[in-house]
Amino acid sequence: MKKQAFNPYLPSWEYIPDGEPYVFDGRVYVYGSHDFYNGYVFCMGDYVCWSAPVDNLGDWRYEGVIYPRNADPMNRDGKMCLYAPDVTVGPDGRYYLYYVLDKASVVSVAVCDQPAGRYEFYGYVHYEDGTRLGEKEGDEPQFDPGVLTENGRTYLYCGFCPEGDRSRTGSRAAVLGSDMLTVKEPPVTVIPGCEYGAGTGFEGHEFFEASSIRKVGDTYYLIYSSILMHELCYATSKEPTRGFVYGGVLVSNCDLHIDTYKPAEMPMAYGANNHGSMVEINDEWYIFYHRHTNGTWYSRQGCAEKLEILPDGRIPQVEITSCGLNGGPLAGKGEYPAYLACHLFTEKPSAYVGGDEFPKIMQDGRDGDEEPGYIGNMKDTATAGFKYFDCQGVKGIRIRTRGYGAGTFEVRTSWDGEVLARIRVEDSNVWEEYESPVQIPDGKQAVYLTYRGERNASLLSFALL
């Protein structure tokens, strides 16, 4: 049976950011780094993989650990973290995993005969004289590798460009030979960092990190996280190592720049860094990205939205939603978990995560415990938004709350719309249900729940009746 697909698309207790999606043999595979719930740094876990059939994007399967953090000879003691990886199919038909350890400046490679089998360490990307890429004089430290293989050549894109560091020039592309390791053409800068953006057309959206490469027809799309961090941008070229021109923003994990339902510079969620890429599934294109939970930078979850590639190759920015891979709105009946909120904010706007006064998506237990996510720390004016639902004949709404918060939840269908219902909640240290009649118009609708009251409440779920 086909399942509804949500954002995040994986279970609420799984934290796989930096998603690189690919379709192999009728399944979508997502490769990413691995955060922990309550993690204190990025990428604390082994590489794991999840996949779903292309015709049922709500039915994700855990493929297990594909590469443990101590498999790299430089990291036998496991003290370094596995940063964002990418995968490509080599000329020999095998799957090659490219990654950089958090305290290293070189690119490591692992290989496997299957998309989600157990990858084995293969080697380090190096020049023909054996010097590792990243360690030769004039090299820049390698970071966030993105790879594309065609015609026996692999294009490797790396880079990290913080503001104020003129030693980092941008996203840099190198060409590797058919052995998947040897540099045949040395790195060249293809997208400028902020220190080198003037006069390039990338001003304000210069390269920061997260290089990812895709090809659509005869055009190369280089996806990257800009200096603003919360957005994924793209640049295009007809050649893989030169001529890239800024295209625009694909997605922002706080929905900045979108002006169709709010002011353009109003953040609708707590964003931070971003990393992801595009994939074509059943003739439709999607952008995979990540969001931040638990009020920190270190517990990130994968999300996805449908893209539209226009005839001229441009891609308009997409809204963040709760139903990204679903192919349309969610059913406007039944119960939905609160962690599906795509919007989370208070009357104090913030585009970046952090701060004890803000609500946060969280869970009980420890990392790995299969506990349902919920929204905690909902203080006065905290709003959770869910988009979209195909509403038909909705006459009531029920919520499940917990916590020492005596107040009211207001129900709206837009962030600034009229209040359609008010649901009174009381102090409780267990989950309690509260219900109210509500008239939600038929058709495609959003649901916004705003808490007004004392102290703070937690929201586990809501149901449209």
By DSSP bridging, strand 231-237 and strand 245-252 are antiparallel
The pLDDT of residue 1 is 75
pLDDT-derived band of residue 355, with 50, 70 and 90 as boundaries?
confident
Q: What is the mean pLDDT of residues 358-370?
A: 97
pLDDT-derived band of residue 70, with 50, 70 and 90 as boundaries?
very high
Q: What is the mean pLDDT of residues 17-22?
A: 98
59 is catalytic: no
Q: What is the mean pLDDT of residues 102-113?
A: 97
Q: Distance (Å, rounded) from C-alpha 37 to C-alpha 44?
A: 10
- C-alpha torsion sign, points 173, 179, 181, 182: negative
Q: What is the mean pLDDT of residues 21-49?
A: 98
Residue in 209, 231, 255, 305 annotated catalytic: 209
74 φ, ψ (degrees, to nearest 5)? -75, -10
Q: Distance (Å, rounded) from C-alpha 320 to C-alpha 335?
A: 21
* Structural contact between residues 50 and 60, judged by C-beta atoms closer than 8 angstroms: yes
- One-letter amino acid at 28 equals V
pLDDT tens digits for range 367-422? 999 999 999 999 999 999 999 999 999 999 999 999 988 899 999 999 999 999 99
pLDDT tens digits for range 175-222? 999 999 999 999 999 999 999 999 999 999 999 999 999 999 999 999
Kindly report the pTM of this predicted structure.
0.98
Q: What is the largest CA-CA distance in the chain?
A: 74
pLDDT tens digits for range 151-165? 999 999 999 999 999
Q: 12-46 as b/e, with b when 16 or more CB fall inside 10 Å?
A: bbbbbbbbbbbeeeebbbbbbbbbbbebeebbbbe
Q: What is the mean pLDDT of residues 328-344?
A: 98
Q: Which domains does the chain possess?
A: 20-307 (2.115.10.20), 331-464 (2.60.120.260)
Of 168, 165, 161, the closest CA to residue 140 belongs to: 168
Conformation bin of residue 190: beta by default, left when phi > 0, alpha when psi is -120 to 50: alpha
209 is catalytic: yes
Looking at the chain, how many residues does it have?
A: 465
pLDDT, averaged across the chain: 97
Q: What is the mean pLDDT of residues 119-138?
A: 98
Q: What is the mean pLDDT of residues 36-45?
A: 97
